[in-house]
A and B are shown apart, each in its own frame.
Chain A
Amino acid sequence: MSPDNPKLESMPVFSPQLAARCDALVQKYPVKRSALIPMLLYAQDEVGYLSDAVIAEVAHRIGITELEVRNVATYYSMLRFKLAGRYNIQVCTNISCMLRGAYDVYERFQEELGIGPKGMTPDGLFSLEEVECIGACCWAPAIQVNYDFHDELKPDLVPGILGQYRKQAQDKGKNA
């Protein structure tokens, strides 16, 4: 949160839906702190990443320091501190996927999107990263786009997947 911009400070960090979800989360467990990891994940889903404001808000809601929140958040690979694309493409390249051509799929994504590993398209629509095993070994090679699984991929299926998400983004834009 920028100290130069008092307006930002007064803006709510979480939407009413997310705030309600967090209220329920702190009631859910025998010990409040157990709500920390899910709260971070749901906040990231909405805000896009764990911004300073999100960290402060979560620390306040759990009743621990921001440092403690950061200490935990930096451990988990799904939690990030920088914005990702609207559709974050996670290509599994672990052994089962590698044996069935995951690196070819990964390279095709890079070509089609014109970005490298950990890159993001200029329009912010897609980001791309290589991830460890996502638990789809028998349907390899597999990827996740945000939380959606795509199984049994081939490089030639890559343009179709990207087209599907481009269309989804357009349709949502029209409705908005």
Chain B
Amino acid sequence: MPRLVSHPDEVKIVSRRFGMGADNIDRYIELGGYEAVKKCIAQGPEWIIEEMKASNLRGRGGAGFSAGMKWSFVPKQSPKPKYILVNGDESEPGTCKDHLIFLHDPHAVIEGTIIAGLAVGAKMGFIYLRGEYRYLLEITERAVADATNRGFLGKNIFGSGVEFQIITQTGAGAYEVGEESALMESLEGKRGIPRIKPPFPAVVGLYGGPTVINNAETIATVPHVITMGAAAYAAIGTPRNGGTRLFSISGHVERPGVYELPMGYNLKKMIYEVAGGIPGGRKLKAVVPGGSSTPVLLPEEIDIGMDFDQVGKAGSMLGSAGVVVIDDQTCIVEFALRTISFYAHESCGWCIPCREGTDWLKKSLTRFHAGFGTPGDIDNIQRTAENILGRTFCPLGDAAAMPTIAFVKKFRKEFEDHLNGKPCPFAREGVPQLTVV
């Protein structure tokens, strides 16, 4: 069972029921569950969307788009059925928050999905979990069955005459499927390849019907926004960044874990106080602030508030809020190589700049890290990455390029230290390295 952590600075909203047995439906109801959806049935769709807009809840998957705005784009009348799609494909390295949501509070996801359905007039919702999360899929399936047995899902939810049902789905191992249109392809039983936009999912989505697709954390937040009121929720965060965020803090910290902190919480404080600082008296070298696809920050750049706008201003992204902390004994070239290896593995192959570019970068960095680099490689690595940027259907290409560019720009000296047949200065003991023959 993944370890739960806590810190006095936390504001527990989404994680309020973690560790309280709320995967049991009776316990969930005892803890105030399924009240928000009743309120929504009474208030009607327009009220829900206005509440959501006023809450400043922005998408927790990484793009940070206003959830209320997204919902408002769905046409009121549609000849095709409308769908709600919950993205639980959580695969961004450094991010493990949805893992805990499905483990501890699956009914919050179900309740949020019903509310989204009420808001846009959909009768069916899908919860898509990555294939590796089989035990979480089983927990979620049980929760859906329990909710259906109580009449919270079905032809006549809560006796309101409204129909809504939820279908669970499993992936089978693919990072790319976390991209919204690729996820729809996967759910339709196809290869997870992105679709060109427009049309956007709100108009043409799953099975060609208007579709709202939200991250699991966004959906799990919805019932809390309704219960506490949009104004109260928005007041917790910073302007335009409502509420709290589940920060997955990992890497070289004393107390890694998923912490729920207000939007805009200081990153430096997050690392040194909340997560207990760097172990073993080592120093901070770099921080990846929002999952592996976000550009790295230097120690002097981390005195910032963690919300979408402030991290953006610092030249990176809040992304999925996966904070990866790197100490001074880590080789950045190796870290960059491990990062790009992931994207090379996960590129779906649809767009040539991404398919070929990530593979080239992986090969260049492998050779470079082994001590066979040439001075021209450093600029070449940067240029290759820059040529992927913005030239792909989906953001995977950018996700691979952005961190690579930042590693080269911010740690050029360390790249140069690897040059001229020198092996990695940080080589771990016992790890064989190529030597110049």
For chain B, the count of residues having a C-beta within 8 Å of the partner chain is: 62
Q: How many angstroms between the C-alpha atoms of A99 and B251 in the bound complex?
A: 6
Stretch at the interface among A3-11, A30-38, A113-121, A160-168: A30-38
Residue numbers in A under 8 Å from B134 (CB-CB): 147
- Our pick among B92, B131, B167, B345 for the contact of A29 (Cβ within 8 Å) is B167
What is the 8 Å Cβ interface bit string for chain A, positions 127-139, against chain B (1 contact, 0 not)? 0000011111111
Contacts A135-B98, A137-B94 hold; do A94 and B338 have CB atoms under 8 A apart? yes
Residues of A within 8 A of B348 (CB): 75
Least Cβ distance of A121 to chain B in Å? 23
- Contact B96–A41 (Cβ < 8 Å): no
Q: Do A95 and B288 form a contact, CB below 8 Å, given A100-B251, A138-B96?
A: yes
Are B342 and A94 touching (Cβ within 8 A)? yes
The reply to whether B191 and A75 contact each other, CB–CB distance below 8 Å, is yes
Contact A34/B188 with A133-B92, A138-B258 known, Cβ cut-off 8 Å: yes
Asked if A153 is at the interface of the complex by the 8 Å CB criterion, the answer is no
What's the Cα separation between A136 and B175 when bound, in Å? 15
Taking CB atoms, residues of chain A closer than 8 Å to B95 are: 135, 137
Q: Known contacts A29-B167, A96-B250: does B93 contact A41 (CB below 8 Å)? A: no
Q: Which residues of A contact B373 (CB under 8 A)?
A: none
Question: Beta-carbon contacts of A27-50 to B below 8 Å, as 1s and 0s?
Answer: 011110111111011000000000
Given A37-B171, A95-B338, A103-B431; A72-B322 close (CB under 8 Å):
no
Please give, as numbers and ranges, the residues of chain A lying within 8 Å of B3 by CB-CB distance.
138-139, 151-152
Query: Are A133 and B172 interface neighbours, CB within 8 A?
Result: no
Q: Which residues of B contact A28 (CB under 8 A)?
A: 167
**Which residues of A, 51-95, contact B by the 8 Å Cβ criterion?**
62, 71-72, 75-79, 93-95
B342 proximity list for chain A (CB < 8 A): 94-95, 132-133
Check B93–A96 contact: CB distance below 8 A. yes
Closest chain-A Cβ to B422's Cβ sits at a distance in Å of 21
* Pair count A-B, CB < 8 A: 153
Q: How far is the CA of A29 from the CA of B207 in the complex (A)?
A: 11
Q: Known: A76-B172, A137-B322. Contact between A33 and B188, CB under 8 A?
A: yes
Which residues from chain B contact A152 at a C-beta distance below 8 Å? Answer: 3
Please judge, given known A-B contacts A135-B95, A137-B95, whether A40 and B172 are in contact too, CB under 8 Å.
yes
Q: Does A22 lie at the interface of the complex (its beta carbon under 8 Å from any beta carbon of B)?
A: no
Do A138 and B173 form a contact, CB below 8 Å, given A34-B189, A95-B324, A99-B251? no
Complex interface: chain A residues within 8 A of B190 (CB):
33, 72
Residues in B whose Cβ lies below 8 Å from that of A19: none
Give the chain A neighbours of B169 by CB distance below 8 A: 34, 37-38
Q: Is B91 an interface residue (CB 8 A)?
A: yes
A144 within 8 A of B: yes
Are the CB atoms of B338 and A138 closer together than 8 Å?
Answer: no
Task: Decide: A99 near B133, CB < 8 A? Known: A76-B171, A76-B173.
Answer: no
Please, how many angstroms separate the alpha-carbon atoms of A33 and B250 in the complex?
38
Tell me, in angstroms, the Cα distance from A71 to B190 when the chains sit together. Answer: 8
Q: Known A31-B188, A33-B188, A133-B91; judge A78-B338 contact (CB<8 A).
A: no
Contact, CB under 8 Å: A72 / B189: yes
CB pair A37–B93 under 8 Å, yes or no, is no
Interface membership of chain B positions 147-179, coded 1 if the CB is closer than 8 angstroms to chain A and 0 otherwise: 000000000000000000001011111110000
Does A140 interact with chain B (Cβ within 8 Å)? Answer: yes
Known: A37-B189, A71-B191, A96-B93. A140 touches B250 (CB 8 A): yes
Return the contact of A151 from the options B2, B133, B325 (Cβ within 8 A): B2
* CB neighbours of A71 from chain B (8 A): 191
**Interface residue? B106 (CB, 8 A):** no
**Interchain CA distance A38-B168 in the complex, whole Å:** 10
| A34 with B251, Cβ < 8 A, contacts A41-B170, A140-B256 known | no
Contact B94 A79, beta carbon cutoff 8 Å: no
A98 at the A/B interface (Cβ < 8 Å)? yes
Is the Cβ of B2 less than 8 Å from the Cβ of A78?
no
Structural contact, B173 and A78, CB atoms closer than 8 A: yes
| Interface residue? B112 (CB, 8 A) | no
Q: Are A135 and B130 in contact (CB under 8 A)?
A: yes
**A75 to B131 Cα, complex, angstroms:** 13
**Contact of A132 with B345 in the complex, beta carbons under 8 Å:** yes
Interchain CA distance A71-B170 in the complex, whole Å? 18
Task: For B3, give the chain A residue with the smallest CB separation.
Answer: A139
Given A37-B172, A78-B173, A152-B3: A135 touches B251 (CB 8 Å cut-off): no
Does B192 contact A138, Cβ atoms closer than 8 Å?
no
A149 to B345: give the CA distance in the assembly, Å.
22
Which residues of chain A come closer than 8 Å to B345, judged between CB atoms?
77, 132
Residues of B within 8 A of A31 (CB): 188-189, 207
B99 touches A135 (CB 8 A): yes
In the complex, which of the residues B91, B92, B96, B207 contacts A30, with contact meaning CB atoms closer than 8 Å? B207
- 25 CB < 8 A contacts A-B: A34-B187, A72-B189, A76-B172, A94-B338, A95-B94, A95-B339, A98-B338, A99-B330, A100-B251, A103-B431, A132-B345, A133-B92, A135-B91, A135-B96, A135-B133, A136-B2, A137-B95, A137-B248, A137-B324, A138-B2, A138-B96, A138-B258, A140-B256, A149-B2, A151-B3
Report A's interface with B, CB cutoff 8 A.
28-31, 33-38, 40-41, 62, 71-72, 75-79, 93-96, 98-100, 103, 107, 132-140, 144, 147-149, 151-152
A-B pairs with lowest CB-CB distance, top 3: A78-B173, A77-B173, A33-B189
CB within 8 Å of A: which residues of B? Answer: 2-3, 5, 81, 90-96, 98-99, 124, 130-135, 167, 169-175, 186-192, 207, 248-252, 256-258, 288, 292, 322, 324-327, 330, 335, 338-339, 342, 345-346, 348, 428, 430-431
